[in-house]
Each structure stands twice: as C-alpha cells, then as structure tokens.
Amino acid sequence: MTEILNRLKRTDLFLSLALAIVAFLAYIAALTPSLSYQSPDGNELATIPYVLGLTHPPGYPLYTWLGKIFTWLPFGDVAYRMNLMSAICAACAVAGLYLIVCMLLQPHVASSALRRASAAFAALMLAFSPTFWSQAVIAEVYAANAAMIVISLLLLLRWETRHRDRDFFLFALVYGLSLGTHISNLGFAPAIALYVLLTDRSVVKRPSWWVAAVAGFSLGAAQYLWLPLRAAALSEQGLLRNAPLSLKGFYDYTLGAFPQLKFAFELSELPDRVVVYIYLLWNQFSFFGILLGVAGLFALLCRRTRHYYLLMGMYLVHTWFFIQYRAFDLEVFFIPAHILWAIFIAFGMVEVMRIIESWLRRLSAGQTAKAAGWTLAFVVAATGFYPLTKNFSSSDRSDDVNTNDFYANVWEYLPENSTLLSQGGVMGYDAFYWQLVYGTRPDVVLPALPTHTPSLADIQTGKLFSTTPLNGINRNRTPGALPKDALPADVWQTPVLVGNLGVTRTRNRLVLYQLGREAPYLVVDDAQPEIEIKAKFGNLTLLGADISGDPLESGACLHLILYWTIQRLEPVTLTTYLDQQPLETHELGFGNLPRYATEIGSVTDGVIVEDYWLVVPSTVRPGPHMLNIQIQGSEKSLEIDSVEVINEEETMERWLRIAN
C-alpha cells in the first residue's frame, strides 16, 4: 500500500494552514469579547481553568489545563483568552479536516486539483456552519474537542501507513486525552477497534501493540485522576452529592453523570428525534450538503471500505446516542457528527466533480480541458466560502457585551460590605468570575460562590442585593446558599439597575434588585418631572421623566425616572430603546405593583415612579442618541430625550479597571 502520508505534499500542508488562517480570522472577527450567556456552562468554563479547579461533570481535565495555558496570554481579559482558545482549536480542526480528506482521497480517483478543491470545500463548509462557528467564538469545550477528534483521526491514519506500534501509542495517547474535552469520545472506541482489525488483524497477536495501545490510552485517560485530586475544590451541593472521591462517586461524576438526560425518549418518540437531527444537519450543510454526504457515503464504501467502517461506525454511535439525549442546547453535541459528515461531503463532491470533469473532457481536449478542470476546482473551493457570507451576521458575537457591561456596573453600584445573591452552580459564574479571577470587590459577599460558606453575620452586616429573582436562590440545600430563614418571607425586591439582554436560552433578564423589608418608593401623590411628556397609551399615561448621566460613557448607566399614571391595574410591558436598539423590557413596576396595591395602598390614585439605573451598552457609538419607550401592544414609540454618549475609555480597559 502506498504510504498515505506521502500524499500529503507541501502544497496540502500549505493549503491546510491557509484554511486555518482564513477560519481563524473569521472567528476572531466574530469572537465574543468576554463573558457570555450563549452557553449555559460558558462562564464556568471561562473561569475554572484560571483557578485550575474542577468543572461540572465530567470535569474536563484536558480542557482545564489547555485553558490555563491560554490564560497566560498577555492581552484581553481571562474570558477573552478562553474564547480565543476556542477559535484556535476550531481553526486547527478545520485544517486537520482538510488533511484527513486529502489523505483519504486516492490519487487515481480524481486529479490533485479536484481532490484539494473538494477537501477545501468540506473544510470550509464545516468551518462556517452555524453550530461549529458558534462554538468557535465562546469559551466552551466543543471546539477543543473537535480539534482533538481530528488530531486523533490523523494519527490513526498515520499508523495505518506504517503499522508501527509507536504510532499507535501516539494515537492511543491523544485519543485518551480527547476524553478530557468530551467523554462521549469513548463511544468511538468500537469503530476504531473494528478499523484496526480490518487494517491489520495480526496486531492482536503482538504483545508490543497491546502494550502501546493500553499504555497510550491509559496515560491519556489518567488525566481523570485530576478529579479526586481537585474534588476538594467543590462545594456546590449538586456536585458534592456525586463528588469523585470514591469509585462510585467517580463513576457518577464521569460516565454516570446526567442520567436523566441519557436515553430519555421512548421508542415511539425516536422518529421525531431522528427528524430533529436531520433538521440540525440541514441547518449546517443545507439540503445540498445532505445529498452530497449521502453520495459520499456510497463513494466511501466502495473506494475506502475500511475507512467507511471507521467513519460510519463513529458517526452511527455518536448520532444514536445523542439523538436520545435530552438537552436544551442539543445542537452542539452533534459537532463530532458534523465533522464526519463534512468528510462524507468531500467524497460526494469528488464524485460530482469527476462526472463534470469527464463531461468537460468530452467537450474539449488538451489544454482547454485542463483549464476547465482547474476552473471547476477553483469554483468548488470558492463555493465553500458561501457559508461564510451567509452565516457571518448570525455567528458574530463581537457585540456580546451585555454580561460584562451589567456586572461592571453592578460592582460599581454595590455599597461597601453588601451581599450579592446570585444563581448557584454553573449558572452563577457570571458573578463568580469577577471575584475568582480578579478578586473584584472582596468586601461584597457572594453567598453562592462555591468556595464561600456564608453565615448569617456575613449577610446581615450590609445591604442585600440580588441578580436573580428570589425564587431561585432562597434554597437551604447548598453550602453556598443562604442560611435557612436568613431572608424574611415578606422581602421586597426593588430593581435598582437594569442591564441589556437579548434573547438567550440561559438567562431571561439582567436586573440588580435591592432586597429589604421596606416597600419600594413606588407611588407618590404628585410629581413634577423635568421632562414633561403626558403621552397616553390607553389605560396608561406617561407623565414625564428625569434623566441624569449626560454625557454618558458607553458601557456605563444612566439614571432614569419614569412617572406614570394608570386607571386600572393590569399588566403592562414596556421596552426602552436607544435609537432603534432595544435596551431592556420590563413589566410596569417591575412586578411589584400588585403586591403594593394589596399591602400598601392604591396604585391608581397616585403617580407610579419607576426609578432605576439603565445600562447603555459599550457597543453604542459616541454621539447623540434618542431614548425611546414603546408599550407592548402599541405601535407608537415615544421619544423621551436625547442622550450624549462618549467613549473616553476603551471597553476592555474599563472592564479590567472595574474588575480590579
């Protein structure tokens, strides 16, 4: 057999590097600048590597260690550096995919130009597919895992060419390590074993091969010793329950984690799940990509039978498992399957191009046919860039500043020695990040912080604030939670600072509430607003507003007081805008009006006062901007006042200054 590695000529290495650079530049342009709510675990995964802690199950040791290296970079904040790691890993996966396809496509199947074009086409299709791209611009494990899978495959193909035990050792080592970016990679083992047997059955009789395989894999998988070593860093009750300190705890934290999500569907529901997967595949590669992939599978079967068993086996186990997985961010779990599908696409594309090439040869001869072949190759490779233009705007997270803008203002707002109640577990790292990484405001107690166990004294010395509605935090089951009955049942939650948040799956709104037994300053007898408006929206009248904070640094917040009268109490939802950009949406009175009417007095006889600080995103350009309000159900948008936004401090500098 011809050595596959020899087919990887310098041109291929150069092209793979070029593809990686193109992908990396696109990822950098769309990179999330810091923390983000795009992934439920993203903020935890941006924080834990810095402190070399233990993430949620299954612990992701390799990701944690790689991340630690990236946190040493001298630019951006720590979260930015972790996002950058995803971009680099994703670009490596793209380059690796190109090399895998080049290694698999036999020279006699098509000309080198067509082979390279189809490999580049597949690599670009994957690089700029929506889900893959979404994970390349945030701190998450999926881009790193994609790189590990691709490197494992490259090493396995390298072993195939030489059958040397030391090559298999290297493959087994990297494969074992890949479990530290996603433990589901273990499911690829049967397909790999079958492929090894189909390639060289004699290896099972060779003790040296067994030593190489077992030693390599064990060495890679030994990273999971990190779990018991770092289990002491856990203090969140949900994780402590399955702390990896015993064999059972270790199993529950790794392979046994999330039992409620696995095989969660009945047989009758599986057809729907298959269609969900097809839908996700369609979203990545379009109907055209699905057709090419199916054609590619047949081509792979006939031309590369052993590799068909390897890749199809990996693909089937992976999709079979995750089709039955119940997660609200399901699409990201299929990224390894998308990588494999991209290889199938490359094989399908080569077949299509071969047909076209043979037509061109029949129509013309000599140099003309050769030129036509090159043109075809160029067109196919260039077509791979189509998803870049199509998906850029939806993948661009470079303006995702909401989390940092909100918390930067929260840290500035909180009085000395106050207590901030936040969510617990992985969802709480939007707040924990600041104190764990930068030691921000050490005087502020974060009871839900995994390393902190609050006492009543901790929270009774200062004012109480919360960034999450109380029904989610007043739990007595976690060491990091509040002591039982620490909060009075009749506590009022008064919004004092409101951040901006688009629609995300992990967070509904960004509001800092002040907690207290005193009823908020919500209804007054009369008011004299500085800006008189007197605009009527049916049952509701906006009398006027007071605005302070002009000029306003972008990313800072303006003080807004709105004065309303209402004839009868009914839910009203309003949205504030800066020009056309929505800032926040809330219910009139921030949900406190019904209780106020019941316990304090009428809200229809006086003037309702909404007094809060509103964050202006750091992405707002300097200059005058009009603050507007729109009532839900009314098409009318009401202009309040012009706000002058300035930008004297660079956004990252501001975040880092406030961080510490």
Partner 1 sequence: MVTNRKLIFAGGVVLILVLIIGAFSLGVYIGRYGVSAQGLHYQAAGDAPQIDRSRLTRPAGFPEGEADVVGLVRGGNRDGIQLATQQGPKWIEVDANTSVMEISGSELGLKDLRPRDLVAIFGEFSVDDGSTLLATYIVRLPQR
Q: Residue 150 or 300: which CB sits closer to partner 1?
A: 300
485 binds partner 1 (CB under 8 A): no
Polymer length of the chain? 660
Tell me how many degrees the CA angle 512-518-520 measures, rounded to the nearest 5: 55
477 binds partner 1 (CB under 8 A): yes
Number of residues that bind partner 1 (CB under 8 A): 50
**Region binding partner 1 by CB under 8 A among candidate stretches 184-192, 205-213, 268-276, 563-571:** 268-276
**Region binding partner 1 by CB under 8 A among candidate stretches 217-225, 262-270, 545-553, 633-641:** 262-270
109 binds partner 1 (CB under 8 A): no
Q: Mask: binding to partner 1, 504-523, rule CB under 8 A, as x and -?
A: -xxxx---------------
* Alpha-carbon span 491 to 470, nearest angstrom: 9
The CA-based dihedral angle spanning residues 156, 160, 166, 170, taken in that order and rounded to the nearest 10 degrees: -10
309 binds partner 1 (CB under 8 A): yes
The Cα-based distances of 34 to 38, 137, 173, 399 in angstroms read 11, 10, 33, 10
260 exposure class (CB count in 10 Å sphere: 0-12, 13-18, 19+): exposed
Minimum distance between the CB of residue 110 and partner 1, rounded to whole angstroms?
A: 20
Tell me, letter by letter, the H, E, C secondary structure of 550-578: CCEECCCEEEEEEEEEECCCCCCEEEEEE
Minimum distance between the CB of residue 441 and partner 1, rounded to whole angstroms?
A: 22
Which listed residue (3, 73, 107, 272) binds partner 1 by CB under 8 A?
A: 272
Q: Is 546 helix (H, G, I), strand (E, B) or coil?
A: strand
Tell me how many degrees the CA angle 66-68-69 measures, rounded to the nearest 5: 65
Contact 203, 171 (CB under 8 A): no
**Region binding partner 1 by CB under 8 A among candidate stretches 152-160, 274-282, 399-407, 566-574:** 274-282
Going along 450-572, which residue ranges are E strands?
Answer: 464-466, 492-498, 511-516, 523-524, 531-537, 540-548, 552-553, 557-566
491 binds partner 1 (CB under 8 A): no
81 binds partner 1 (CB under 8 A): no
Classify residue 462 by its DSSP letter. S
Q: Residue 265 or 378: which CB sits closer to partner 1?
A: 265
402 binds partner 1 (CB under 8 A): no
* Alpha-carbon span 44 to 34, nearest angstrom: 12
* Strands 492-498 and 607-615, sheet pairing: parallel
532 binds partner 1 (CB under 8 A): no
273 binds partner 1 (CB under 8 A): yes
Q: What residues pair up with 644 in beta bridges, in sequence order?
A: 624
Q: Of the candidates 242, 240, 256, 245, which has an alpha carbon nearest to the alpha carbon of residue 183?
A: 256
301 binds partner 1 (CB under 8 A): yes
* Alpha-carbon span 529 to 5, nearest angstrom: 76
Which listed residue (109, 197, 228, 298) binds partner 1 by CB under 8 A?
A: 298
266 binds partner 1 (CB under 8 A): yes
Q: Mask: binding to partner 1, 31-60, rule CB under 8 A, as x and -?
A: ------------------------------
Q: Mask: binding to partner 1, 183-222, rule CB under 8 A, as x and -?
A: ---------------x------------------------
Q: Residue 476 or 632: which CB sits closer to partner 1?
A: 476
Classify residue 445 by its DSSP letter. B
Six token digits for residue 640:
């309040």
427 binds partner 1 (CB under 8 A): yes
Minimum distance between the CB of residue 471 and partner 1, rounded to whole angstroms?
A: 6
Q: Residue 50 or 308: which CB sits closer to partner 1?
A: 308
Summarize as ranges the residues that interact with partner 1 (CB under 8 A).
198, 238, 241, 259-260, 264-266, 269-276, 278-279, 294, 297-298, 301-302, 305-306, 308-309, 312, 316, 326-331, 423-425, 427, 468-469, 471-472, 474-475, 477, 505-508
